[in-house]
Structure 1
Amino acid sequence: MSTTVILEDIELNNNFHSRSNNGKHDDVTTQIQNPQIDLQSFEESDAIAELNNNVNNNDDISFEDTLDDPKSYPDGGFKAYLTLFGCFLGLIVNLGLINSIGAVQSYVSNNILQNYTQSTISWIFSIYLSLAYAGGIFSGPIFDRYGTLYLLISSGGFIFIGLMGAAQSNKIYQFILSFIALGLGNGIGMAPLVSVISHFFFNKRGVCTGIATSGGSVGGLMFPLMLRKLYVSVGYVWALRILGFTCLGCMISSVLLVKERFRRINKKSTIEVEINTLDKLKSEVLEFIKIKDIKFVFVILGGFFAEFSLVLIVTYFANYAIAQGLSESESLLLLTIWNAVGIAGRWLPGLASDYFGRFNVNVVMLIMYTLSILVLLLPFGHNHKILYAFAVLGGISSGCILTLLPACLSQITRTDQLGKRYGLLNFYLSLANLFGIPIAAAILDTNYNNLIIFIGCLSIAGLVFWTAARVSIVGVKLNVKV
């Protein structure tokens, strides 16, 4: 009788430890780059030493299980906060461009492609937004395995090329090609920038995710203001070029600052890889099509509908305001207000979620967001003062949609699989952007109120599924932190 023993090597700051595992896990090398403890002081850390002892002495505990032990996280320190700042700068670009795309869309629609219908023009931005989310299905698993460096370099390069191309475009196909490059850049960069925060923070994960994603509101605040002034002073071409160089500077800073804390590298023999390739491919296809975790299904559906409604608001809010009699400059100011208050709308719910529960806070904020659409914007949107009030309330309440989604996902996902799951979730969100914006544009050609009703229905659906996700975790109990 023979016994097969598989060894798993764990690298912690260049110190190797081995333990036996009776065939329960694949042969994996996990590399850890501890953000707080250098090589000299590594053995002086009681928390890490205890963690290593637990891993080495207990055959039933895998290293992946320890990743969700709060004691294994620094939850602060110079390198952790440096990475957080790098994520903030990167998301100024990646989320900021998404939040301010209406400033480009309204100018292009009214000044360059004015002879085309809204439905035709909408395909430019629907393709862009779908790629901005779909790219995560590739960049997420790549991040889990290889880290952030090459992903962020590629992201910055594609974004710069896309903006330079858009600056020179004056025909539909040219804009489509330019925004394809821009969307690829966003899609490559977003998943690692959001997921890497969970490498460093556990108890502070909600507030730190909120701080990082508030970069999207800063970008959404800064870019429309900048474009509003540059359109008049230097024209469209140089306005987008200046935007491109600004984004490039932020992405270079992000590349230099953002570092992952651990990565997974499979070390299998060539024969083993050949034998298991087909089975692995089948497994990944089934995992993509058939998701067995009902909590994850509800999070996907909740995120899908809530994000869908938010994208339509951000894309068409400026045009809606112009249709109500506001000038183009005033419509851009509304987007600026939306994103300015969105900074607080991302940070404060994130902070509250660490104390009251991420799913709890998300559901409350989505109730507020839905009411602002159906009770404020729909019946009173023709009033200019109401538009400014909606920009404030909607901007604050919608901040949770992008901020708390990854925080909630991390609560039901193992940390070493977060990039993969976040990328998969974003792929499904991309479908809403690809087909939803042209559908919304077709509705828009008939009546703006019909579009607002459609957006309100989407937000209700998002609220229902997020509530279902919470119920699937703890049932109908209200006084539970989840």
Structure 2
Amino acid sequence: MQQSTLSDTFAQDGTYAWFRLAVSILLSTLGGAGMWAVVIVLPAVQTGFGIDRADASLPYTATMVGFGVGNYLLGRVVDRFGIVPPLIASAVFLGIGFALAAMARDIFLFSLAQGVFIGLGTAATFGPLLADISHWFLKRRGLAVGCAACGNYLAGVLWPSFIQWHLQFADWRETYLLIGGICLVTMVPLALILRRPPPEAFLSASSGSSAFGTQTTSLSPAALQMLLMIAGVACCVAMAMPQVHIVAYCVDLGYGVAPGADMVAVMTGAGVISRLSSGYIADKIGGVKTLLIGSVLQCASLFLFIPFNGLTSLYLVSLIFGLSQGGIVPSYAVIVREYLPAREAGQRVGLVIMATIFGMALGGWMSGWIYDLTGSYNAAFLNGIAWNVLNMAIAVFVLMSGRTGTQATLRR
């Protein structure tokens, strides 16, 4: 009886799995400092280095590149060695990165520290953590992945407030040193809590159909992976239009910077609700259908931005947009676990997450480029809608391929 109880405790969806999820959310919130700190200190960095706004934006671009590449590279490490080594490396990289950035004497060195150390360090606390936690849940996998993904948004709520408060007493260099110290001191012991490997029974199959998830498809793993990556780029090109340009859009409309910043906060806060609800829905209907629902809702909300440009209307549409888009990215992790080999979850989730990040970068640039050509954001919104339609089409195709695969299995 005692042995059975112990086994149940560490089984999928068991007590330990929920405890592990709580630790993962905390780690993701701490490690997420790397994505938000550079945004908050940007004006101070620009002033300190005596550079223009374009050059001051380079560190953020470098961070996102490191973050995207790191999701794939560290995902491969997770598949081979588990989540603990990447998380410890993340803590060390963040500690070193923030320290080097604080000591940087020019924007090039600052950008290098942001991209190589902080970007890579932050990456371990997103895609790799989602892949790891997916092994510990079966009935509630979608909800668990959605909860773990919320850590990234929670970081966007907590870290900017902390940084703004600390900047009242110290300069940005001292603030960076403090952030690096906090990450190093807190993340290493938290990472060691996650030393227990995933349930062996769940990962025991190394080949054949049993090594895959619960869903069947007529697509090869390589084809499905490529489609998910294209879908990831497409949905995030669309997603980037409001998230990256809403502040500039508000300025163009004469509302100023503050309302735009508030709308970003509204999108992020609503995104947390979206990720939790989408995870719950994914457990009921599957990852592909959840992705399709989120994509359709995001497309509809993008349409709403065009005619409704009053201040109150924009707040409301931003709320609708946040509730629509927040669950899209975590849905890809659920799809990977449903259709692709469990032992390759880290690198496969990392590849899709990397594609979504590159989609955000492409979408942010493309929307600005279209604005420069047309003098209006309406065409940029329409461009986002077109990319969103591509994402919806891929989701429908994967869903139909799954049905074809099931029918072929039944015939055999």
RMSD: 3.6
- Cα drift, residue 154 of structure 1: 0.8
Whether 2:383 is the aligned partner of 1:421: answer no
In the alignment, which of 6, 12, 18 is matched to residue 81 of structure 1? Answer: 18
Matched ranges for 1:254-265 at <5 A: 254-259=190-195, 260-261=197-198
In the alignment, which of 335, 344, 358 is matched to residue 273 of structure 2? Answer: 344
- Cα drift, residue 82 of structure 1: 2.1
- Cα drift, residue 177 of structure 1: 1.0
- The change in CA–CA distance for 1:190 and 1:110 in structure 2 (over 3 A counts) is same
In the alignment, which of 42, 45, 69 is matched to residue 134 of structure 1? Answer: 69
8 Å CA contact 2:25–2:147 kept in 1: the answer is yes
Deviation larger for 79-88 or 463-472:
463-472
Whether 2:295 is the aligned partner of 1:406: answer no
Q: 2:67, 2:22 → 1: CA distance?
A: 22
SS at match of 1:135: helix
How many equivalent residue pairs?
Answer: 386
| Match in the other structure for 1:284 | none
Bigger radius of gyration: 1
Q: 2:260, 2:169 → 1: CA distance?
A: 18
Q: 2:57, 2:380 → 1: CA distance?
A: 14
| Match in the other structure for 1:19 | none
| Match in the other structure for 1:378 | 306
- Cα drift, residue 261 of structure 1: 1.5
Q: 2:376, 2:41 → 1: CA distance?
A: 17
| Match in the other structure for 1:282 | none
- Cα drift, residue 201 of structure 1: 0.6
Q: 1:309, 1:101 → 2: CA distance?
A: 25
Deviation larger for 104-113 or 201-210:
104-113
In the alignment, which of 455, 475, 478 is matched to residue 384 of structure 2? Answer: 455
For each residue in 1:214-238, what CA deviation from the matched residue of structure 2 results, as whole angstroms up to 9, or x when unmatched? 1122112222333444445645444
Matched ranges for 1:213-362 at <5 A: 213-231=149-167, 234-248=170-184, 251-259=187-195, 260-261=197-198, 293-311=222-240, 313-326=242-255, 328-362=257-291
- The structure where helix makes up a greater share of residues is 2
The aligned amino acid for 2:343 is: D
Whether 2:97 is the aligned partner of 1:162: answer yes
Q: 2:14, 2:152 → 1: CA distance?
A: 24
- Cα drift, residue 153 of structure 1: 0.8
- The change in CA–CA distance for 1:350 and 1:134 in structure 2 (over 3 A counts) is same
8 Å CA contact 2:232–2:355 kept in 1: the answer is no
- The structure where strand makes up a greater share of residues is 1
SS at match of 1:224: helix
Q: TM-score, normalised by structure 1?
A: 0.69
Q: 1:172, 1:315 → 2: CA distance?
A: 22
For each residue in 1:267-292, what CA deviation from the matched residue of structure 2 results, as whole angstroms up to 9, or x when unmatched? xxxxxxxxxxxxxxxxxxxxxxx975
Q: TM-score, normalised by structure 2?
A: 0.79
Q: 1:172, 1:121 → 2: CA distance?
A: 7
| Match in the other structure for 2:29 | 92
- Cα drift, residue 340 of structure 1: 1.8
Q: 2:193, 2:251 → 1: CA distance?
A: 41
8 Å CA contact 1:95–1:215 kept in 2: the answer is yes
In the alignment, which of 187, 203, 209 is matched to residue 123 of structure 2? Answer: 187
| Match in the other structure for 2:80 | 145
- The change in CA–CA distance for 1:89 and 1:105 in structure 2 (over 3 A counts) is same
SS at match of 2:319: helix
Q: 1:223, 1:327 → 2: CA distance?
A: 24
| Match in the other structure for 2:208 | none
Aligned residues with identical type, % of pairs: 18
Gapped runs of 5+ residues in structure 2?
205-218, 407-412
Q: 1:220, 1:301 → 2: CA distance?
A: 26
- Cα drift, residue 92 of structure 1: 1.6
8 Å CA contact 1:139–1:189 kept in 2: the answer is no
Q: 2:70, 2:169 → 1: CA distance?
A: 35
8 Å CA contact 2:236–2:360 kept in 1: the answer is no
Q: 2:50, 2:296 → 1: CA distance?
A: 37
Q: 2:42, 2:252 → 1: CA distance?
A: 11
The aligned amino acid for 1:298 is: L
- The change in CA–CA distance for 1:342 and 1:236 in structure 2 (over 3 A counts) is same
Q: 1:464, 1:209 → 2: CA distance?
A: 24
